[in-house]
Amino acid sequence: MRPIVAIVGRPNVGKSSLLNAIAGERVSIVAPVAGVTRDRVSVVVERLGRSFEVVDTGGIGIVDSDRLEASIEEQIAFGIESADVIVFLVDSREGRTPSDEEIARHLRRQGKPVLLAANKAESPKHQMAAVDFAKLGLDDALAISAQERMHVEDLLDLVVERLPESDEAEEDDDLMRIAIVGKRNSGKSTLINTLAGAPRVIVSEVAGTTRDSVDVRFELDGDAFIAIDTAGMRRKERVKDPVEYYSQRRTVRAIQRAHVVLFLMDATTDVSQVDKKIASLLDEHCKPCALVFNKWDLVEGAGVREFEAYIRTKLPLLSFAPISMISAKESMNLAETIRLARELFGQAGAKVSTWEVNKALADAYERRRPEYKGRRAPKIYYATQTGTHPPTIVIFANDPKAFDMEYRRYLKNHLRKVFPFDEIPIRLRFRKRERIDMSLEERGGR
């Protein structure tokens, strides 16, 4: 595993801003209130030939509005314990505080390399104030500004100097990414923790506990994966504050980043409007997904076939997606579900020849032709697969607009029956083209 660098400090010193500055993008949610970061959010950094993971943590000593202080402190302790290097962030504008002194005493006892960084030091006055932090008994503080990215690269250079020697880790970019999405309290964080075999994210009965999208590496059958935990989705009109708004945005981004999505739902409740909204997002982004029903051990009196029939009527956009029943808390059927996700990933990478594509579309066209009101009958001249993840097929036709959504859905369903990607979405793209020798109808798919 690559080395871990933990950013720690009291609330509102700019830890999340520093992580975002290091990443070069907004990874952690930043808001002018204390306690926004709860779970440990991380990014992988390449610097001076070394690869390491930088982890943001919650504010030490925070008073949380949802009374999750103990869980947040547990995550901070876990972050410090697992870190190879610690960046202790302080606020140069506020100066040294009793909380800073208490944190410094704790960090000195850890016996690990600690870098002291005084944030918000944009002005010469605040840069000079950083000198006072030497009284914390650590190395001299490096004056930085996360917001202005001032001396952030210098800080990273110092981090690299203190990293332990290690073998090259497997690149996370090469690993399959599985996003766990669902509405609030469906059990996403419990599933992540069970997969990781450790309390990697906070689990609570408080709705909306997870705010950031958190990447967690885990292994199964000797293979490594990245699981992306996400904030619980809710109805748009109920999104009340900026933190919640950006949480929702990160869930969408997690779907975009993922290779496969586990759409987690509570088996003890009815399919909701939020569930239908998530299904629409998955359809929009053409993401392979499994419909995963958690808490199946609590369901009484429902047969699997009856339950599946109910789900298919409620989520018609994902009628092709496989269904899995699990209990994240009891570790029931989890390994099988991850193997299912791996199978979906394989289907998304499947390729078929141009001849096979044209033959299948000719058969579909012969069985059912699109309705039309104009003077020209809609015709398909030629088609070819141009991409994978998802399988993407470009169809050249005389009038793309004549092929409505219902007919396009029919073509997708037919292709799923014929080709080895029957449980994943297919992307069809129509292109206008004048006559090319003869249509599929005229040449029988030759």
**Residues 143-196 pLDDT 10s:** 999 989 899 888 988 998 899 876 444 455 678 999 999 887 788 888 888 887
Residue 111 near residue 162, CB atoms below 8 Å: no
Q: What is the pLDDT of residue 64?
A: 42
Q: What is the pLDDT of residue 439?
A: 54
Domains belonging to the chain, first-starting first, are 4-162 (3.40.50.300), 172-348 (3.40.50.300), 354-443 (3.30.300.20)
Give the pLDDT confidence of 340-391 residue by residue, as tens digits. Answer: 999 999 999 999 999 999 999 999 999 998 887 766 788 889 899 999 999 9
Q: Residue 127 has which token pair?
A: 């840069």
Q: What is the b/e burial string over 96-135, where b = at least 16 CB atoms within 10 angstroms of the residue's CB? A: beebbeebbeebeeeeebbbbbbbbbbeeebbebbeebee
Give the pLDDT confidence of 94-151 residue by residue, as tens digits. Answer: 999 888 898 888 888 888 999 999 999 988 888 888 888 888 888 888 999 998 989 9
CA–CA distance from 369 to each of 275, 353, 411, 440 (Å)?
33, 23, 10, 12
- Is pLDDT at 298 greater than 50 in this prediction? yes
- Is pLDDT at 243 greater than 70 in this prediction? no
User: Across the chain, what does the average pLDDT equal?
Assistant: 80
Q: What is the pLDDT of residue 352?
A: 94
- Is pLDDT at 279 greater than 70 in this prediction? yes
CA–CA gap between residue 226 and residue 217 (Å, rounded): 5
- Is pLDDT at 39 greater than 60 in this prediction? no
Q: What is the pLDDT of residue 190?
A: 86
State in Å, rounded, how far the first CA of the chain is from the last one.
52
Give the pLDDT confidence of 199-217 residue by residue, as tens digits. Answer: 545 444 333 444 455 677 7
Please return the burial class of 329, using the count of CB atoms within 10 Å of its CB with bins 0-12, 13-18 and 19+: middle
Q: What is the pLDDT of residue 52?
A: 83
Q: What is the pLDDT of residue 27?
A: 43
Q: What is the pLDDT of residue 59?
A: 66
Give the pLDDT confidence of 55-72 residue by residue, as tens digits. Answer: 887 766 544 444 434 554
User: What percent of the chain is helix, strand and coil (3-state, nearest 5)?
Assistant: 40, 20, 40
Q: What is the pLDDT of residue 353?
A: 94
